[in-house]
């Protein structure tokens, strides 16, 4: 259930991030990540080192990933029912294109700043 909760939390964070964009979206995404950390939910990206350090086995990690995806999918389904939602795919592709057109050192700089914010 902790992995499912993490999927719901990161799905809501992503939805708000894509809706608001920019700094406000990033701040609310950070709130979603903090919610996961404070409640000790199981987000597979945060537990990846547990697999490497053999605290989790591959089966546990795959289960966690599946429940994360199911949680995000449920948020996506609920979000699709709202008539005022923007198209996630278009916004997400714009973000990907911006990152691809940014020099590697610019992306690393943004990642470092994001890490400090969290």
Specify the pLDDT at position 101.
94
pLDDT over 90 for what percent of the chain?
32
CA distance readout (Å), 10 to 19, 37, 42, 45, 103:
14, 11, 11, 11, 27
Residue 78 in contact with residue 68, Cβ under 8 Å? Answer: no
Residue 112 exposure: Cα atoms within 13 Å on the Cβ side: 6
User: For position 23, what pLDDT does the model report?
Assistant: 84
Q: What is the pLDDT of residues 27-54, one digit of tens each?
A: 899 899 999 999 999 898 877 666 666 7
**Spans of all domains in the chain:** 2-117
- Global pTM reads 0.74
């Amino acid at each position: 259930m902790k992995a499912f909760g993490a999927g719901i939390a990161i799905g809501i964070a992503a939805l708000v991030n894509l809706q608001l964009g920019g700094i406000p979206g990033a701040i609310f995404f950070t709130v979603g990540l903090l919610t996961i950390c404070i409640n000790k939910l199981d987000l597979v990206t945060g537990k990846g080192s547990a697999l490497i350090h053999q605290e989790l086995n591959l089966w546990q990690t795959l289960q966690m990933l599946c429940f994360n995806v199911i949680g995000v999918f449920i948020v996506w389904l609920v979000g699709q029912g709202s008539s005022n939602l923007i198209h996630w795919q278009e916004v997400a592709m714009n973000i990907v294109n911006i990152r691809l057109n940014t020099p590697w050192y610019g992306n690393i700089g943004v990642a470092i700043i994001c890490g400090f914010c969290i």
